[in-house]
């Protein structure tokens, strides 16, 4: 623990152009808007809230920032019902009970209590792990919209002062502030208090040209004409009212599938045989087959 204010992490990027270059170096092709927002989040030391539909690359952006900067990635995956014990810390109750039993009749309760609520019995979870790291760190709070509002309240202390309070141990302040990326699929409205602490970035599916570049970068062996046909087909699928539109990652998976099968054209037979790579619901597959007029 430290009583000193947490020190900001040294800026990792020198310019917007450098952000684009270094993210591209790890396989993430960022638009100017994305590169600019990442640069500002890094330079200003502000958390970055990334919203958008599932599958547009929000989580991948955080991973790419960590890889591009040589930072450790600490991920808090949110879900309905997640609580402080899973997000911040909890006590190792089994070990505490063994310690209490071992000290019975040999020491006072005050002595036992001071011991069982010490560092040895603390189980840090992602938020506390990120706060305590002294190495460059990216903290990813993934799908924050799935967590209850109480977890947002917990995050406010972390994002405001980069510190957490453990009543039995006191306040633990970050020795080095992490880069913080929060993602949201917009399944519920986040609190204004949380939003005020963050820079905001909305990600949508890339335009056709950017998606072609992404696929060509990730699957360079695939013929340019096949990449063109693949991206065009994916965009048609996204225009349908599907339960789950194909993500960018699924576009890449489809490209790798075509390559693995040795296909050189995306005809009806190829689409029909491989559609399960990008559509994971039978109702979506039926609708797509109808709209694409697959026999």
For 8-19, the pLDDT digits (tens) are 667 899 999 999
DSSP-assigned beta bridge partners for residue 53? none
Task: Of 200, 98, 190, 104, give the one whose Cα is nearest residue 149.
Answer: 190
| pLDDT surpasses 70 at 4 | no
Q: What is the pLDDT of residues 153-172, one digit of tens each?
A: 888 878 888 888 888 888 88
Q: What is the pLDDT of residues 220-246, one digit of tens each?
A: 999 999 999 999 999 999 999 899 999
* Residue 264 confidence class, pLDDT cut points 50, 70, 90: confident
| pLDDT surpasses 60 at 5 | no
Q: Is 162 left (phi over 0), alpha (psi -120 to 50) or beta?
A: left
| pLDDT surpasses 50 at 26 | yes
Between the alpha carbon of residue 6 and those of residues 24, 172, 200, the distances in Å are 31, 10, 23
Task: Of 213, 207, 192, 285, give the one whose Cα is nearest residue 243.
Answer: 285
- The residue-averaged pLDDT of 263-280 equals 90
pLDDT at position 159, please?
83
- The residue-averaged pLDDT of 264-287 equals 91
Q: What is the pLDDT of residues 122-165, one digit of tens each?
A: 899 999 999 999 999 999 999 999 998 888 888 887 888 888 88
* Residue 71 confidence class, pLDDT cut points 50, 70, 90: very high
pLDDT at position 295, please?
57
pLDDT at position 168, please?
85
């Amino acid at each position: 623990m430290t009583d000193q204010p947490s020190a900001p992490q040294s800026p990792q990027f020198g310019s917007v152009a450098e952000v684009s270059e270094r993210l591209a170096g790890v396989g993430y092709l960022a638009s100017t808007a994305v590169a600019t927002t990442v640069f500002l989040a890094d330079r200003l030391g502000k958390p970055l809230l990334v919203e958008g539909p599932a599958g547009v690359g929000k989580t991948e952006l955080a991973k790419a920032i960590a890889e591009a900067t040589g930072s450790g990635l600490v991920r808090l995956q949110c879900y309905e019902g997640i609580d402080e014990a899973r997000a911040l810390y909890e006590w190792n109750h089994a070990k505490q009970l063994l310690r209490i039993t071992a000290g019975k009749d040999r020491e006072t309760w005050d002595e036992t209590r001071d011991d069982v609520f010490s560092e040895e019995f603390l189980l840090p979870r992602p938020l506390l792990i990120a706060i305590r790291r002294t190495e460059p760190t990216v903290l990813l709070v993934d799908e924050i919209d799935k967590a209850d509002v109480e977890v947002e309240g917990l995050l406010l202390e972390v994002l405001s002062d980069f510190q957490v309070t453990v009543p039995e141990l006191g306040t633990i302040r970050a020795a080095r502030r992490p880069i913080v990326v929060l993602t949201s699929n917009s399944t519920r409205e986040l609190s204004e208090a949380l939003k005020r602490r963050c820079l905001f970035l909305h990600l949508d599916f890339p335009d056709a040209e950017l998606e072609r570049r992404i696929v060509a970068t990730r699957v360079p062996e695939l013929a340019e004409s096949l990449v063109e046909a693949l991206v065009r087909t994916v965009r048609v699928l996204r225009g349908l009212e599907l339960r789950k539109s194909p993500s960018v990652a699924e576009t890449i998976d489809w490209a790798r599938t075509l390559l693995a099968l040795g296909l050189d054209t995306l005809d009806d037979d190829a689409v029909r045989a491989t559609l399960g790579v990008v559509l994971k619901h039978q109702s979506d597959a039926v609708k797509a087959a109808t709209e694409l007029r697959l026999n």
